[in-house]
């Protein structure tokens, strides 16, 4: 370790940081002000139930086995031959978008919502919001 | 001289100055390190085994998680290895987009490094500024890929989405902003007397053995050895882009910091060329078979990408099925964290451990994979 | 490169990646000597092992990089899976020490002359070395972890489609029957 006795520039230059105090602060005052997410953000799933055909392609491609096909309470699409819709375990999902890519009728999508707060972990089983 | 006792302490894994979840076992006499031993194992997630269980196209979602500060070299390596084995060629536009992703990720990683390096000597202000600037890059990644940190964007066969409308314009605006911002970092960090006093002459790497021992990235370029995979073993369209490879002769922490400082400017230069040269038209994603029908031949390949911390390589072997037989990650940290760091710390002072580790860019996830 | 092609059968994987194959320990030792002294490939970058369980071998790949860092050479050697070791390269390449330590832990390959083969990442691990093909991750997970409750109502879509088709057919037949009865 060498000590240069007079490194005047090195001592004075960092004081330029004071200039930052005059600038407008860049923090977002949550929750009064929220950050907008990008239009193509990969948030929670949405599913257009009037288009979903219950084919389980999403279940097949999911590499984390996060998707269950469960019987729908009220039928919305007559072309849904199995009467099942996907339900996603958000304890396993990694939002990789593969299920959306393989969806034949393009009914599954990832939405903008991305905040989920709950006391119990079993609320992680998530039915995609109906986008129709 | 007073007789002094030897004590042993574990520097990490909970120490804030350590780079990630690892620890260094130090034998000290007073403040001086007699012997250093690296310990890992706090972050083993078994990526290489997980990849073998999944089909090729499913496995790509795992690899980006190997490195948090810069996931994109992993995705790039994975995609290029699969393309090399399966014989896929990708369009020119997709190649330019991939270069753009690589360089944006490099800029983001260097800004994050700047926060870590300055934090290791107590200059907290620099980290607050640079992480804000990194967030602006992450905002662009969010628009491009839908994710901020794990992009899962570079896919075998190209990239998964085309650019959103007006993206290159916003990128260009960000580069103008960074151009203005980088000289301010010079003032508060690179020229800072505190940093210079601590960094000059600390952690000097022996340049004679650097090549043989497999050091990569700034560890080489900080000793004046000009090696960069983007020029030496070019991939994508890097051979059509003009950039310099900065080198400094000191071999110490300060030289490595200056190399990174210059590399940020070179990344901006490359990104400007990408914006100018990117073809308007082109298929960004090749048509691939379904994931259970996508097979790799029985062959093996090694691909490497220049990440922000040096050569990042993947060995991949296929076996004729839809699964990968073996994928091994070769990050810069395995050699840097053991072969380089252990002798380098001997004789140093305790307070310099975090400084040296940060400058070598050691990241435990790629040691443990 | 020329020296190498006259002596070994070099496979060109791509313009910057080559591989040579050896099959005995002596040939392997000789190849490593030759490559590091007579060619430009001076850096040992990586040691990889791939488990070919159906052929009963581990295929080890020693990856060498040249001085200009522009070409790579793979020296490949199969060894038996039942605990056959190799001499350590840590005397010549200090970086080999940690790579061998990693492979010893993940595959159980003993490297003779490497004295750092104590636990690396998996401290306290008593099971099989985990990267061997016979180690089943799913069975390990079932034995050690609980799964999320409430996922039992998952349906097999193929079965469900068939069941509904048959039900529809039955309903239709019943309806037809009912309409016949009405006449």
Q: How far is A36 from chain B (nearest CA, A)?
A: 10
Output the pLDDT for position B103.
92
> Over the stretch C85-106, which tens digit does the pLDDT of each residue have?
888 888 888 889 889 988 898 8
Domain ranges of chain A: 45-130
Please count the residue pairs, one from chain B and one from chain C, whose beta carbons lie less than 8 angstroms apart: 102
> Which residues of A make CB contacts under 8 Å with B?
1-4, 7, 9-11, 13-14, 16-17, 20, 26, 37-42, 60-61, 63, 94-98, 101-102, 110
Distance CA B118, CA B131 (A): 12
H or E segment at C72? strand C72-80
Q: How far is A95 from chain B (nearest CA, A)?
A: 9
Residues of A in contact with C150 (CB under 8 A): 122, 125
Lowest mean pLDDT among B14-23, B184-193, B329-338, C36-45: B14-23
Task: Quote the domain boundaries for residue C44.
Answer: 2-182
Output the pLDDT for position C177.
86
**DSSP 8-state class, residue B340:** I
Output the pLDDT for position B292.
85
At B321 the three-state DSSP class reads: coil
- Say yes or no: B164 contacts chain A, CB-CB below 8 A: yes
Q: How far is C153 from chain A (nearest CA, A)?
A: 6
Q: Which fold has domain B6-368?
A: Cytochrome-c3 Hydrogenase; chain B (1.10.645)
Residues of B in contact with C106 (CB under 8 A): 48
Distance CA C15, CA A57 (A): 40
Mean pLDDT (whole number) for C115-129 = 85
- Chain B interface, best mutation among A5, A10, A35, A55, by max B CB count within 10 A: A10
Contact C61 B300 (CB under 8 A): yes
Q: How confident is the model at residue C183 (pLDDT cuts 50, 70, 90)?
A: low
Output the pLDDT for position B293.
87
Residues of C in contact with A89 (CB under 8 A): 148, 151
Residue of C nearest to A124 (CA): C148
Residue of B nearest to C119 (CA): B41
Output the pLDDT for position B206.
85
Output the pLDDT for position B66.
87
Distance CA C75, CA B176 (A): 48
Contact C154 A70 (CB under 8 A): yes
- Say yes or no: C175 contacts chain A, CB-CB below 8 A: no
Residue with tokens 């009865």: C181
pTM of the model: 0.90
Please count the residue pairs, one from chain A and one from chain B, whose beta carbons lie less than 8 angstroms apart: 84
Compute, in degrees rounded to 10, the torsion defined by CA atoms A114, A116, A121, A122.
-90
> Which residues of C make CB contacts under 8 Å with B?
13-14, 16-17, 19, 42-46, 48-52, 59, 61, 63, 65, 67-72, 74, 93-95, 97-99, 102, 106, 119-123, 130-131, 133, 135, 137-138
The C-alpha R_g of chain B, in whole angstroms, comes to 21
Compute, in degrees rounded to 10, the torsion defined by CA atoms C97, B219, B305, B181.
150
Output the pLDDT for position B13.
82
Using an 8 Å Cβ cutoff, are B43 and B125 in contact? no
- Say yes or no: B328 contacts chain A, CB-CB below 8 A: no
Q: What is the CATH number of domain A45-130?
A: 3.30.70.3270
CB-count exposure of residue B282 (10 Å: 0-12, 13-18, 19+): middle
Please count the residue pairs, one from chain A and one from chain C, whose beta carbons lie less than 8 angstroms apart: 45
Mean pLDDT (whole number) for B304-310 = 90
Q: Residue A94: how many CA atoms within 13 Å on its side-chain side?
A: 19
Neighbours of chain A (3+ CB pairs under 8 A): B, C
Lowest mean pLDDT among A87-91, B108-112, B280-284, B337-341: B280-284
**DSSP 8-state class, residue B162:** P
- Say yes or no: B202 contacts chain A, CB-CB below 8 A: yes
Residue of A nearest to B197 (CA): A3
Q: What is the CATH number of the domain that holds C48?
A: 3.30.460.80
What's the mean pLDDT when you consider all of chain B? 88
Mean pLDDT (whole number) for B131-136 = 91
Distance CA B121, CA C101 (A): 33
User: Which among B84, B299, B335 has the least Cβ separation from residue C95?
Assistant: B335
Q: How confident is the model at residue B3 (pLDDT cuts 50, 70, 90)?
A: low
Q: How far is C26 from chain B (nearest CA, A)?
A: 23
Beta bridge partners of B306: B311
- Chain C interface, best mutation among A82, A92, A122, by max C CB count within 10 A: A82
Residue in B257, B351, B95, B339 with CA at minimum distance from that of residue C46: B339
**Region class of B41: left (phi > 0), else alpha (psi between -120 and 50), else beta:** left
Residue of C nearest to A54 (CA): C157
Q: How confident is the model at residue A1 (pLDDT cuts 50, 70, 90)?
A: low
Percentage of residues in chain A having pLDDT higher than 70: 95
- Say yes or no: C149 contacts chain A, CB-CB below 8 A: yes
Distance CA B220, CA B214 (A): 9
Output the pLDDT for position A3.
55
Percentage of residues in chain A having pLDDT higher than 90: 0
Output the pLDDT for position B314.
92
Using an 8 Å Cβ cutoff, are C17 and B85 in contact? no
Question: How many other C-beta atoms can be found within 10 angstroms of the C-beta atom of residue B333?
Answer: 29
List C-alpha distances in Å: B305 to B9, B36, B78.
36, 30, 10
- Say yes or no: C150 contacts chain A, CB-CB below 8 A: yes
Residue with tokens 């040939």: C27
Contact A14 B59 (CB under 8 A): no
Q: How far is B40 from chain C (nearest CA, A)?
A: 6
The answer, yes or no, to whether residue B156 has pLDDT greater than 60, is yes
At B317 the three-state DSSP class reads: strand
Domain ranges of chain B: 6-368
Contact C148 A89 (CB under 8 A): yes
Distance CA B265, CA B178 (A): 9
> Over the stretch B223-249, which tens digit does the pLDDT of each residue have?
888 888 888 888 889 999 999 999 998
Contact B212 C68 (CB under 8 A): no
Output the pLDDT for position B104.
92
Distance CA B145, CA B321 (A): 30
Q: How confident is the model at residue B30 (pLDDT cuts 50, 70, 90)?
A: confident
Mean pLDDT (whole number) for B14-21 = 74
**CA angle in degrees (0–180, nearest 5) for C46-B89-B151:** 65
Mean pLDDT (whole number) for A12-30 = 85
> Over the stretch A25-81, which tens digit does the pLDDT of each residue have?
888 888 888 888 888 888 899 988 888 888 888 888 898 888 988 888 888 888 888
Using an 8 Å Cβ cutoff, are B50 and B323 in contact? no
Q: How confident is the model at residue C165 (pLDDT cuts 50, 70, 90)?
A: confident
């Amino acid at each position: 370790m060498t000590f240069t006795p007079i490194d005047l520039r090195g001592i004075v230059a960092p004081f330029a940081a004071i200039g930052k105090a005059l600038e407008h602060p860049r923090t977002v005052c949550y929750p009064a002000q929220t950050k907008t997410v990008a239009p193509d953000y990969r948030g929670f799933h949405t599913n257009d139930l009037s288009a979903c055909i219950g084919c389980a392609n999403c279940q097949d491609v999911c590499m984390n086995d996060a998707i269950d096909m469960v019987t729908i309470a009220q039928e919305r699409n007559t072309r849904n031959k199995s009467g099942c819709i996907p339900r996603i375990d958000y304890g396993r999902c990694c939002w990789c978008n593969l299920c959306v890519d393989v969806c034949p009728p393009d009914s599954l999508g990832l939405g903008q919502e991305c905040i989920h707060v709950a006391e119990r972990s079993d609320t992680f089983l998530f039915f995609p919001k109906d986008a129709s | 001289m007073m007789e002094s006792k030897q004590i042993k302490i574990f520097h990490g894994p909970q120490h804030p100055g350590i780079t990630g979840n690892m620890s260094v076992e130090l034998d000290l006499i007073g403040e001086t390190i007699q012997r250093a031993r690296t310990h890992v194992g706090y972050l083993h997630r078994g990526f290489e085994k997980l990849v073998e269980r999944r089909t090729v196209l499913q496995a790509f979602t795992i690899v980006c998680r190997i490195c948090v500060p810069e996931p994109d070299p992993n995705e790039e390596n994975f995609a290029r290895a699969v393309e090399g084995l399966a014989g896929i060629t990708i369009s020119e536009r997709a190649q330019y987009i991939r270069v753009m992703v690589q360089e944006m990720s490099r800029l983001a990683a260097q800004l994050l490094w700047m926060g870590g390096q300055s934090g290791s000597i107590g200059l907290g202000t620099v980290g607050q500024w640079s992480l804000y600037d990194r967030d602006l890059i992450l905002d662009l990644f969010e628009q491009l890929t839908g994710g901020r940190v794990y992009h899962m964007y570079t896919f075998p066969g190209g990239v998964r989405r085309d650019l959103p409308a007006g993206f290159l314009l916003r990128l260009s605006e960000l580069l103008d902003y960074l151009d203005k911002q980088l000289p301010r970092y010079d003032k508060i960090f690179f020229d800072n007397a505190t940093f210079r006093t601590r960094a000059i002459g600390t952690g000097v790497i022996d340049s004679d053995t650097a090549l043989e021992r497999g050091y990569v990235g700034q560890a080489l370029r900080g000793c004046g050895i000009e090696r960069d995979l983007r020029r030496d073993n070019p991939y994508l369209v890097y051979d059509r882009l003009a950039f310099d490879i900065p080198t400094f002769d000191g071999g110490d922490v300060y030289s490595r910091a200056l190399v990174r400082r210059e590399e940020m400017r070179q990344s901006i230069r490359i990104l400007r060329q990408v914006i100018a040269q990117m073809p308007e038209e082109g298929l960004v994603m090749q048509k691939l078979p379904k994931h259970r029908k996508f097979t790799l031949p029985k062959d093996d390949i090694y691909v490497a990408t220049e990440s922000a911390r040096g050569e990042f390589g993947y060995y991949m072997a296929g076996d004729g099925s839809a699964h990968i037989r073996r994928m091994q990650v070769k990050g810069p940290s395995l050699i840097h964290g053991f072969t380089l760091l252990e002798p380098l710390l001997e004789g140093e002072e305790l307070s310099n451990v975090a400084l040296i580790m940060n400058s070598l860019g050691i990241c435990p996830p790629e040691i443990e994979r | 490169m020329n020296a190498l092609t006259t002596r070994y059968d070099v496979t060109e994987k791509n313009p910057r990646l080559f591989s040579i194959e050896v099959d005995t320990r002596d040939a392997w030792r000789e190849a490593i000597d030759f490559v590091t002294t007579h060619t430009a490939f001076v850096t040992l970058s990586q040691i990889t092992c791939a488990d070919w369980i159906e052929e009963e071998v581990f295929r080890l790949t020693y990856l060498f990089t040249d001085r200009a860092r522009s070409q790579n050479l793979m020296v490949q050697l199969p060894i038996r899976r039942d605990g056959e070791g190799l001499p350590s390269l840590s005397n010549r390449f200090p970086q080999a020490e940690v790579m061998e330590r990693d492979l010893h832990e993940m595959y159980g390959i003993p490297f003779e002359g490497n004295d750092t083969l104590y636990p690396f990442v998996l401290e306290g691990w008593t099971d099989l070395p985990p990267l061997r093909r016979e180690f089943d991750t799913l069975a390990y997970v079932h034995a050690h972890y609980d799964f999320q409750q409430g996922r039992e109502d998952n349906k097999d879509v193929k079965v469900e489609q068939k069941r509904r088709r048959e039900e529809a057919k039955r309903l239709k037949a019943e309806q037809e029957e009912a309409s016949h009865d009405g006449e």
